[in-house]
Copies of this chain bind each other. A is one copy, B any other.
Amino acid sequence: MRADCQVCRSEGFAAHSRVQVRLGNRSIIATLNIVYGSLLSTGEAGFSETAWTMLAPQPGERASFAHPVAVDSMSHVRAKVYGQRLVESQFDAIVSDIVAGRYTDVELAAFITGCADGHLSQEEITFLTRAMINTGERLTWPYQHVMDKHCVGGLAGNRTTMVVVPIAAALGLIMPKTSSRAITSPSGTADTMEVLAPVDLTLQQMRAVIEREGACIAWGGAVHLSPADDILVRVERALDLDSEGQMVASVLAKKAAAGSTHVVLDIPVGPTAKVRSGAAAHRLQKLLEHTAHAMGLKARTLISDGRQPVGRGIGPALEAADVLAVLRNEAGAPKDLRSHSLDIAAALVELAGLGQGDEARALATAMLTEGHAWAKMQAICEAQGGMRQIPRAAQIHEIVATHAGHVNAIDNRLLSRVAKLAGAPAVPAAGLELLVRIDDPVVRGQPLFRIHADNRGDLDYVLEFVQRHPGAVEIERH
């Protein structure tokens, strides 16, 4: 709007004011930019492309501009920050207001921070989960068993889903997998799968893929299963902040909304993983199992080794390459990705009642070694819109050991940050390849990891960061 326009003056709008714009029965809450000069005439306002799409102004229509009605539910957020326990109706009010777009980013940040760490009780997590389910779409499937899996992230390169789903589908299980894009990591499963096939499927497209192949690996956001989570994720990403309670709610709300009935939950534990101690993993396990039960889901949790990244690649394209190596039974395929995927697949087999213990694991392994999983993965990619070639980065740079010794520790978080600064996940080919594992002996000058970037500017930027933060791979001198 113009700085001198009457609405700005009388309403006291200034640059970055939140303004409710109404046009017919459409309404948005927008952030105001103020312009000087002749860009707009008196009585005119300009919209962003997004606002234009949402308001769909017609010739001759008049818009009205007002202060957004005060968001009452922020008082509940303040109560939460002050350490009070909230009741179900308060979570319903908060989540409804978030989904309606009534929260500013600053208010979302306060809610996320107020719910971070252990600030939500078991009961509050159940309330938040239910509020998230109730504000989104909910899928139903004409199958008795609808299998699902989820890994409580924080472990770079952990792309088990893309190995587990084809194994399960090859065994005849129904697994309409919806995955998320990266929150704080260099790649989410949806980002990695997108390297191989379209993931932005409509619900109708998803149903067609399931009918044909029994399974899919799609982006969950496209089917609006948890609109609250989609809004929160953007600010969570900016804060790089995780919240146990919000994580449990977000994971299980998506599973319940997706119509899943049986779910395997994988919790990797390590000093630089999202879950850092056995005690934290057990607490999270209890929260997940309790909340899953309250939502009517049959759940099994696995606690796994999260001391270092799984596979070699970190970043969409490099992780996709690891997945294909495992599915194709290549000699150089990352062993840890293969074995970890088989653990999860075996748990799914048990949960579905197809076999127990060694028998379950043998069933899952057979699907992989006999090539059924690889054939199924190709079929799924074709059904989702066609299999794609994996892109390769233009700039590759090796970081080498400055002294001899053996690998003592690997900082997952630092490696994730490096991969993100290199451009992942926005640039699919960007990221890094980890060339050593914990306990490996190394000689001076031996490559430790390779950075992949799209252009020289991104590469220089990440190299400057690596120079300032040398501890990603810690080498103990002999």
A residues bordering B, Cβ < 8 Å?
10-12, 15, 33, 36, 39, 48-49, 66-67, 70, 74, 78, 81-83, 104-110, 112-114, 116-118, 235, 238-241, 417, 421, 423, 426-427, 454-455, 457-458, 461, 465
The CA of A455 and the CA of B6, in the complex, are separated in Å by 12
Contact B116 A465 (CB under 8 A): no
Is B238 touching A78 in the complex (CB atoms < 8 A)?
Answer: no
Q: A104-B238, A239-B107, A455-B10 are in contact. Are A117 and B83 (CB under 8 A)?
A: yes
- Taking the nearest CB of chain B, how far is it from the CB of A456, in angstroms? 9
* Given A12-B423, A109-B110, A238-B107: A116 in contact with B455 (beta carbons within 8 A): no
CB of B81 within 8 A of CB of A116, answer yes
Chain B residue nearest to A465 in the complex (CB): B70
In the docked arrangement, what's the CA distance between A248 and B405, Å? 50
Q: By CB atoms of chain B within 10 A, which of A15, A240, A465 has the most? A: A240
Contact yes or no, A78 B240, CB < 8 A: yes
Q: Of B67, B78, B106, which contacts A105 at CB under 8 A?
A: B106
Give Cα A465–Cα B458 distance, bound, in whole angstroms: 51
Q: Considering the chains assembled together, what is the distance between the CA atoms of A159 and B39 in angstroms?
A: 44
Number of chain copies forming the complex: 2
The distance in angstroms between the C-alpha atoms of A105 and B108, with both chains bound, is: 11
Supply 10 further A-B pairs (C-beta < 8 A) apart from A106-B235, A109-B110, A110-B113.
Answer: A12-B427, A70-B421, A81-B113, A83-B118, A105-B106, A106-B108, A107-B238, A107-B239, A110-B112, A110-B241
Across the interface, name the chain B residue whose C-beta is closest to A18.
Answer: B238
Among candidates B39, B66, B70, B240, residue contacting A417 with C-beta atoms closer than 8 Å: B70
Q: Which residues of B contact A457 (CB under 8 A)?
A: 10-11, 66
What residues on B are CB-neighbors of A105 within 8 Å?
105-106, 109
Closest Cβ–Cβ distance, residue A5 to chain B (whole Å): 14
Cβ distance A443 to chain B, nearest Cβ, rounded Å: 31
A27 to chain B, nearest CB (A): 16
**Interchain CB contact under 8 A, B33 and A33:** yes
Q: List the B side residues contacting A78 at CB < 8 Å.
A: 239-241
A241, B81: Cβ atoms under 8 Å? yes
A112: chain B residues at CB < 8 Å are 110
Bound together, the chains give a CA A39 to CA B46 distance in angstroms of 13
Residues of B within 8 A of A116 (CB): 81-82, 114
When chains A and B are docked, how far (Å) is the Cα of A132 from the Cα of B36?
36
* Minimum C-beta distance from A150 to chain B (A): 22
A-B contact pairs, 13 of them (CB 8 A): A10-B457, A12-B427, A36-B49, A66-B457, A81-B117, A81-B241, A82-B117, A105-B105, A105-B106, A106-B238, A107-B239, A110-B241, A113-B114
What are the 10 closest A-B residue pairs judged by CB atoms, nearest first?
A109-B109, A113-B113, A106-B109, A110-B113, A81-B116, A82-B117, A106-B238, A12-B426, A110-B239, A105-B106
Whether A461 touches B67, Cβ cut-off 8 Å, given contacts A110-B239, A238-B107, A239-B106, is yes
Partner of A66, one of B12, B104, B239, B461: B461
Rounded to whole angstroms, the CA-CA distance of A109 and B113 in the bound complex is 8
Complexed CA–CA distance, A78 and B426 (Å) = 24
Please indicate which of the listed interface residues A106, A110, A235, A239 has the most CB atoms of chain B within 10 Å of its own CB.
Answer: A106
CA distance A12 to B48 in the complex (A): 19
